[in-house]
Amino acid sequence: MDLTAVVDGLRGRGLVDAAGGFTGAGRETRQRIEALTDELAAPAYDVLSADELDELAAGLEPISAAVWAVDN
């Protein structure tokens, strides 16, 4: 499936507007997905020590910076 088909499907459900941006319902859906993702991922991080969390965050920083650079 290509990106156009995905966006068309989201538009058909009222989640994306004609310009390709999220509608209010699209933003709410994204927020619910993000919250559920965080909730489901939490147990994996709960077993890490503070030092391990710091190490993980430091290791992910270059990836995060690259994603932000593309997104903004």
Residue 2 has pLDDT above 80, yes or no: yes
Q: Enter the tokens of residue 29.
A: 């859906």
Residue 16 has pLDDT above 90, yes or no: yes
| C-alpha–C-alpha distance, residues 1 and 10, integer Å | 13
20-68: pLDDT as tens digits = 999 999 999 999 999 999 999 999 999 999 999 999 999 999 999 998 8
| C-alpha–C-alpha distance, residues 47 and 60, integer Å | 18
pLDDT recorded at residue 52: 97
pTM of the model: 0.65
| C-alpha–C-alpha distance, residues 25 and 14, integer Å | 7
DSSP states of the chain: --HHHHHHHHHHTTSB-TTS-B-HHHHHHHHHHHHHHHHHHHHHHHTS-HHHHHHHHHHHHHHHHHHHHHH-
6-15: pLDDT as tens digits = 999 999 999 9
Query: How confident is residue 71, by pLDDT bands cut at 50, 70 and 90?
Result: low
